[in-house]
Chain A
Amino acid sequence: MTVKTTLRAGAATPAGARRERHRSRSNLRGWVFAWPTALFVIVLFVVPLLLVLRMSASHWPLLSGDQGFNFPSNYRKTVSNRFFVESVTFTLKYTLLATVLLIVLGLGLALLVQESTHWKGLLRTSFLVPSALGLASASLLFYVLYSPLAGPFATMMNRLGWTFLGSPDAALASTLFLIVWRYAGFYMLLMLVGLQAIPTQIYEAARMDGSGRWNTFRRITIPLLRPTLALTIILCVTGSLLAFEQFYILTKGGPDNSTITVVQLIYSMAFQGQNDLGVAGALSVLVLLALVAINAVQLRAFRGSEDK
């Protein structure tokens, strides 16, 4: 920094030199406030990111630590893990279903409570309250709610001989219901913010032109809501691809290992049984790459459709 300043000062006019010197002083002052952020970002984000790359290329058992370079053995082991294909397929299926459900229901709820009346304010609050709970708390709550022994539907379930978590399909559907309950209000809120940004004059003009409700929704609301839809879809896809708590607590990956997500697989590779941080690191790196790629594709798709 000092070198740069003297170089420039030498070339510039005296006034320019003074300005440069002034700027260099504020340079230092900025770091007086920025260093804690830099410390956190470097030590707890950049360094771990580099470390996981190294771990993924090393034989690294949980207890004995680094045992030396072994690339690409961990990656080969990850891909040939007997749950790898299953968990990737399941995670993608879950992501697709959760995203469609949350975006459609979030938008539906937002349209339902858009006006500001007392009743709609109450509705908004009751849809939002579950979002204050942690996902782990919500999963524990539904674990009891779905229980064939203690839940409110226990008698009904015993009579029908059906359980919420008994079959793979039922377990997935029950988890999706929990996720909708926990997150629909959150997505409603994002949609409401987006809806508010649409100028009211446009709606008025559409009404003057005799546009019906459905037509207005399809031709005006949806196109103008596109930035919000893009944001919410990216958020929802990212969150769902990384799903963990809901399955770890509610279904424990069952029944018959039918609900194992990728993050659950990372966790079990590292800390349950296999105890291999190298293999878990390799899968973590693959997930990171997949996420970056998927988000890049989504951003490009949304940007592309905006240009049209």
Chain B
Amino acid sequence: MTTTTPRRALDGGPRANPARRSTPSTTLAGVALRTPFWVFSGALAVIFLFPLVWTSVASVSPHPGTGQVDGWGFGNYVTLAHYQAGIGQYLTNSGIVSGLTVVLTLLVSTLGGYAFARFRFPGRNLLFMLTLAILMVPYATLLIPLYVLLSKFGLQNSLVGVALVLTMFQLPFSTFMMRISFESVPRELDDAAMVDGCSAFTALWRVLLPAVRPGLITVGLFAFLAAWNDFLAPLILINDTNRMTLPLAVSNLRVQVQGVIDYGATEAGVVVLALPCILLFLVLQRHYVRGFMSGALKG
């Protein structure tokens, strides 16, 4: 721990000193010293990966009392496909909620972040503090009145209503993230655009948006993961089975027929739920990590 980091700082890069770097791992003593570490850390990695691997394998392997009784195959996925309104419907519902949440979050937080970073207006600090205050209020505390409020707007049982609520819950993080993204872009850039005759809108659209793209990806990724996986908001706000989102549907499917639980279909459901998140996470890992870096700066 204490050796590599200063060396990197002194040499300007790990490649600058290949001889010293390879010495401890290539000598026999070095290997012997490191073996316990490899075994220990490897075992830890296995513990973390095992549940995911096991579920994926179990979802296609035979098991009595499931949709896949003999031989390997996708029987459990077939059960899932025909459950109540069908998995297609639930995937669509989850897609609508997640897509709408991502679009709304990006739109509102980009405009808001731009306003907070570039303009002084009355109520600016109050609005920013109120936005951050959303973090302090328990989810359930807001969902109970939102249940009443949304039905007053005619949005009871509505996927749009769920997306609006989820967008609101995303605003503290995304507004903060977009604000610091815009603040890190030099002001000269929009001044130059304005001199060239751009309005504030065109400057934002043409010049600034490309500059804050990494921030947009982070905000979009977090909004998607939150909306796709959210359980409590649709649980409270949706009671029509045809409008349930995927986590809700898979959770209900478990307690289907008089206490007999279809474990196979549940496994398949978990795989369908987890797959998009894991793929997105692996592709966008860098942006995921950046989200936490900015959060820690604040703390």
Chain A residues close to B by CB (< 8 Å): 1, 23, 26-34, 36-38, 40-41, 44-49, 51-52, 55, 65, 109, 111-116, 119-120, 122-123, 125-137, 140-145, 147, 149-150, 152, 181, 184-185, 189-190, 193-194, 197, 200-201, 203-204, 206-207, 213, 216, 227-228, 230-231, 241-242, 244-245, 249, 263, 266-267, 270-271, 277, 280-281, 284-285, 287-288, 291-292, 295
Query: Do A200 and B5 contact each other (CB < 8 Å), given the known contacts A1-B122, A32-B200?
Result: yes
Complex contact A295–B136 (CB within 8 A): yes
Majority DSSP secondary structure for residues of B touching A: helix
Chain B residues close to A by CB (< 8 Å): 1-2, 4-6, 9, 14, 38, 41, 44-45, 47-49, 51-52, 54-55, 58, 63, 65-66, 107-109, 111-112, 114-116, 118-124, 127, 130-131, 133-134, 136-142, 144-149, 164-165, 167-168, 171, 175, 200, 204, 225, 228-232, 235-236, 247, 250-251, 254, 261, 263-264, 266-267, 269-270, 273-274, 277-278, 280-282, 285, 288-289, 292-293, 295-296, 299
Complex contact A152–B48 (CB within 8 A): no
Complex contact B141–A200 (CB within 8 A): no
Which B residues are CB-close (under 8 A) to A36? 107-108, 111-112
Query: Do A242 and B108 contact each other (CB < 8 Å), given the known contacts A129-B49, A230-B299?
Result: no
B251: contacting residue among A37, A126, A136, A213, CB under 8 A: A136
Which B residues are CB-close (under 8 A) to A114? 1
Which A residues are CB-close (under 8 A) to B263? 144, 147, 149-150
Most chain B beta carbons < 10 A, residue from A28, A33, A114, A203: A33
A190: contacting residue among B45, B235, B292, CB under 8 A: B292
Complex contact A244–B232 (CB within 8 A): yes
Query: Do A245 and B231 contact each other (CB < 8 Å), given the known contacts A140-B254, A287-B141?
Result: yes
Which A residues are CB-close (under 8 A) to B44? 109, 112, 123, 127
CA distance A25 to B299 in the complex (A): 34
Query: Do A44 and B54 contact each other (CB < 8 Å), given the known contacts A190-B296, A284-B140, A288-B138?
Result: no
CA distance A203 to B6 in the complex (A): 8
Query: Do A145 and B55 contact each other (CB < 8 Å), given the known contacts A40-B171, A185-B48?
Result: yes
A125: contacting residue among B1, B130, B144, B285, CB under 8 A: B285
CA distance A1 to B123 in the complex (A): 11
Which A residues are CB-close (under 8 A) to B254? 140, 143
Which A residues are CB-close (under 8 A) to B51? 130, 141-142, 145, 181
Which B residues are CB-close (under 8 A) to A27? 119-122
Identity of the chain B residue whose Cβ is nearest the Cβ of A127 in the assembled complex: B48
Complex contact A127–B63 (CB within 8 A): no
Complex contact A115–B4 (CB within 8 A): yes
Complex contact A216–B2 (CB within 8 A): yes
Complex contact A33–B229 (CB within 8 A): no
Which A residues are CB-close (under 8 A) to B66? 150
The 5 closest A-B pairs by CB, nearest first: A134-B229, A30-B121, A30-B119, A231-B299, A37-B112
11 CB-based A-B contacts, threshold 8 Å: A36-B108, A37-B127, A40-B108, A55-B144, A112-B44, A113-B41, A115-B5, A134-B231, A135-B231, A184-B48, A197-B296
Complex contact B140–A137 (CB within 8 A): no
Which A residues are CB-close (under 8 A) to B55? 141, 144-145
Complex contact A277–B148 (CB within 8 A): yes
